Amino acid sequence: MTKYEGFATMYMRMPMSTSTLPIQGSCTVEDKRITLKFPFTGIEFDLPSAPQEGRNDFDFKIRGARGDMTMTIGYVQELRAFTGTGKQEEEDTPVLTFTFFPSDSPMAKLQRS
């Protein structure tokens, strides 16, 4: 089973405002299961298939508390890392962003807070 670690950001919408507050978290992928952990909450879902290095971008949908969310996952060859974005159906701005990578990726040298 392949395991990846990484970073995640959730963009919380502020009440009575159009601004969002980014909240940093962590990302873990084991086989097809992705876990995004944040200080006060977490999100888990299954990917359509296990991540494969060099694969083209792909989209899929998950059901969230506020309706369907379109997830887009891509691969950055130079960094040996995957990037992901989650957008609510009716919105164009991301609700979630995340990056995950194997332990021997150059991204693993970044410090985690």
Please give the pLDDT value at position 92.
77
Please give the pLDDT value at position 85.
94
Q: Read off the pLDDT of residues 15-66 as tens digits, 9 standing for 90 and up.
A: 777 788 899 999 999 999 999 999 988 999 998 888 888 877 788 888 866 6
Whether the predicted pLDDT of 113 surpasses 60:
no
This prediction has a pTM of 0.86
Report the side by side order of strands in the sheet with 33-37. 42-46, 33-37, 20-30, 3-13, 94-101, 81-88, 67-76, 58-64
SS3 label, residue 104: coil
* pLDDT mean over 57-83: 86
Task: Give the C-alpha distances (Å, rounded to integers) separating 75 from 15, 20, 24, 82, 106.
Answer: 34, 27, 21, 4, 14
d(CA 101, CA 17): 35
Phi-psi region of 54 (alpha: psi -120 to 50; beta: other; left: phi over 0): left
SS3 label, residue 50: coil
